[in-house]
Structure 1
Amino acid sequence: MSAAGFDPIIHAPIRLQACAILASADKVEFGLLRDAIEVSDSVLSKHLKQLEEAGFISLHKAASAGRVRTWVSLTPVGHKAFSAHVTELERLVRSSAAPAAVAGE
């Protein structure tokens, strides 16, 4: 059983949710991402830092209407890692749904 696509960095629930949201958009504003995942700023920041250190996301600050906003996006490496992780999770689900061989049969 190969787990080549399984990524423990992405697998943590908050990071997995963030990657899923980011995979469907070019970029997402930090506050929107925080609200969608329903976590505090500090919790999201901690998880985004881990994704950024892995090279999976990029953060970009931009001024808008007198406020500085942080935008988050998946990098090409992040897209590839997230896709591989989802593929591995799907494989695990399929294998768990297959009838198991019973010893002695």
Structure 2
Amino acid sequence: MAPSRTDNPEMAKKHLKVRTEAKRLKTEMGKVREDQLCLIEEQSKLMTRFGEIERQCNELKQEAQMMAKQSALTRLKLELMLGILKAREGGDLVQAANLTRFLRKIVAMEKANAI
């Protein structure tokens, strides 16, 4: 009859070490798996946050562009008003009327776009 593993104390000791090491490795693998799941969850949260930040950034860019357009339009209207005043002071009523008509068109376009 062939000797069993448990009959040899050295073999039993090695077998116990191997089983203990296997259990330890399984435990570590479980911890690594948990850590990976946590990392995936955190990565998902970060991607969501980055998406929100990107959306807010785009909104701010659009607002800044709109403000720049409004500023340029306001400057144009102010320059037209100044031109109207200077034309009236100089007695050039035709020029003042042309500038006034142009200013009214701009204001009408602004109101139409606001609606």
- TM band (smaller chain): under 0.3
Looking at both structures, which has the greater relative contact order when contacts are Cα pairs under 8 Å and sequence separation is at least 6? 1
Q: TM-score, normalised to structure 1's length?
A: 0.26
The answer to which structure has the higher strand fraction is 1
When Rg is computed on C-alpha atoms for both structures, the one with the higher figure is 2
The answer to which structure has the higher helix fraction is 2
Q: TM-score, normalised to structure 2's length?
A: 0.24
